[in-house]
């Protein structure tokens, strides 16, 4: 089913066309989203201008968890169907996801100081986000810890799949426990409870961030493909010298 895209050459051909397109579209979304969110959206009646942190905080939080999901899915593909490209994809997603989860925590604490009066509280949402960061960190460290690279890829994939259990905890932590973090206002059964004037710039930022991280992942994967090719070439040259 996925053999079609798993061919590295075909992957390269498609992504070569996709790459500049993704960059332009994502920058357009991010720039227009930033304009709308910083200048053209209303102040919150309680929070004032500090509400604008949300336009960075929410997209990075969504992406941090969504990227973990896609990381784990590609790990499953790697373990079950043993596509080498799936491993390259998961190892390219990991640093970007880790950055987004750190960005979430930093923007959250910048917002928390004026609003909650504290940089950090140990509530369920914040703690589970921190644990997500440690799963990303563990994945990256374990991936690089082995002499034989294939061992590292496999072990790290198993770890990523175990860490999948953390995602529903992040999503529902604000509903299950009464915490300081406000409950979700966009993905709800009875429609979003956020005003359109705020929802539109927010969705621009989410789309922009998502496309931009896709762009970064594609660059990462292509670099890793080239690295692999170089390694193979060096091996070939060495072999010729020996013979």
Partner 1 sequence: MNSIHSSWSNIFIAHIKRDILTNSRSLLDLISIVGFMILIIILFPLGLGPIKEKLNIVSNAVIWVGLILAIIPSLEKLLQKDFENGWLDQIATSPAPLEIIMLSKAISYWLIMLIPLIITSPIFAILLDMDLKNIPWLVISISAGSLAISLIGLSGSALILGARKGNILLPILIIPLMTPILIFGVGVNEAVKINESPFGNLFLLLALTLIYLVISPFISALLVRIAIGR
Q: How many CB atoms lie within 10 A of CB 4?
A: 8
Residue 80 lies near partner 1 (rule: CB under 8 A):
no
Residue 3 lies near partner 1 (rule: CB under 8 A):
no
Distance of CA 150 to the CA centre of its chain: 23
Number of amino acids touching partner 1 (CB under 8 A)? 21
Residue 147 lies near partner 1 (rule: CB under 8 A):
yes
| Backbone phi and psi for residue 211, each to the nearest 5 degrees, phi listed first | -70, -35
DSSP H or E run through 243? none
- CB-wise, 152 or 208, nearer to partner 1? 152
- Tell me how far apart the 2 most distant CA atoms of the chain are, in Å: 77
Residue 154 lies near partner 1 (rule: CB under 8 A):
yes
Residue 137 lies near partner 1 (rule: CB under 8 A):
yes
Residue 210 lies near partner 1 (rule: CB under 8 A):
no
d(CA 185, CA 171): 12
* Closest distance to partner 1 from the beta carbon of 138 (Å): 5
Residue 155 lies near partner 1 (rule: CB under 8 A):
yes
Residue 178 lies near partner 1 (rule: CB under 8 A):
no
* Closest distance to partner 1 from the beta carbon of 145 (Å): 4
Site track 101-130 with partner 1 (rule: CB under 8 A), x = hit:
--------------------------x---
Query: Residue from 14, 80, 162, 237 that binds partner 1 (CB under 8 A)?
Result: 162
Q: Report the sign of the C-alpha dihedral through residues 144, 147, 148, 152, in that order.
A: negative
Residue 172 lies near partner 1 (rule: CB under 8 A):
no
Q: How many CB atoms lie within 10 A of CB 136?
A: 26
Choices 44-52, 103-111, 131-139, 208-216; region in contact with partner 1 by CB under 8 A: 131-139
| Backbone phi and psi for residue 220, each to the nearest 5 degrees, phi listed first | -60, -45
- CB-wise, 148 or 240, nearer to partner 1? 148
What 8-state DSSP symbol labels residue 118? Answer: S
Closest by CA to 78, choosing from 152, 184, 172, is 152
Residues constituting the chain: 243
- CB-wise, 135 or 215, nearer to partner 1? 135
Query: Residue from 33, 59, 152, 201 that binds partner 1 (CB under 8 A)?
Result: 152
- CB-wise, 147 or 241, nearer to partner 1? 147
d(CA 91, CA 143): 8
CB 28 within 8 A of CB 107: no
CB 64 within 8 A of CB 132: yes
Residues lying near partner 1 in the complex (CB under 8 A): 127, 131, 134-135, 137-138, 141-142, 145-148, 151-152, 154-155, 158-159, 162-163, 166
């Amino acid at each position: 089913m996925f053999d079609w895209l798993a061919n590295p050459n075909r992957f390269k051909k498609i992504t070569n066309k996709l790459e500049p397109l993704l960059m332009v579209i994502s920058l357009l979304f991010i720039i227009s989203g930033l304009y709308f969110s910083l200048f053209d959206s209303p102040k919150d009646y309680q929070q004032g201008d500090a509400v604008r942190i949300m336009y960075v905080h929410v997209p990075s939080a969504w992406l941090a968890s969504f990227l973990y999901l896609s990381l784990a899915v590609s790990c499953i593909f790697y373990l079950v169907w043993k596509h080498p490209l799936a491993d390259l994809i998961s190892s390219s997603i990991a640093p970007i996801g880790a950055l987004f989860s750190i960005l979430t925590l930093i923007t959250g604490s910048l917002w928390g100081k004026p609003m909650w009066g504290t940089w950090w509280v140990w509530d369920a949402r914040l703690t589970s986000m921190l644990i997500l960061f440690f799963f990303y960190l563990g994945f990256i460290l374990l991936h690089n810890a082995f002499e034989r690279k294939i061992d590292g890829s496999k072990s790290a994939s198993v770890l990523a799949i175990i860490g999948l259990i953390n995602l529903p905890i992040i999503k529902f932590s604000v509903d299950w426990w009464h915490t300081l973090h406000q409950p979700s206002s966009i993905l709800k059964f009875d429609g979003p409870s956020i005003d359109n004037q705020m929802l539109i710039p927010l969705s621009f930022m989410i789309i922009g961030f998502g496309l931009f991280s896709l762009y970064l992942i594609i660059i990462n994967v292509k670099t890793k493909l080239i690295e692999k090719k170089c390694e193979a070439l060096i091996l070939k040259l060495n072999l010729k010298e020996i013979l």
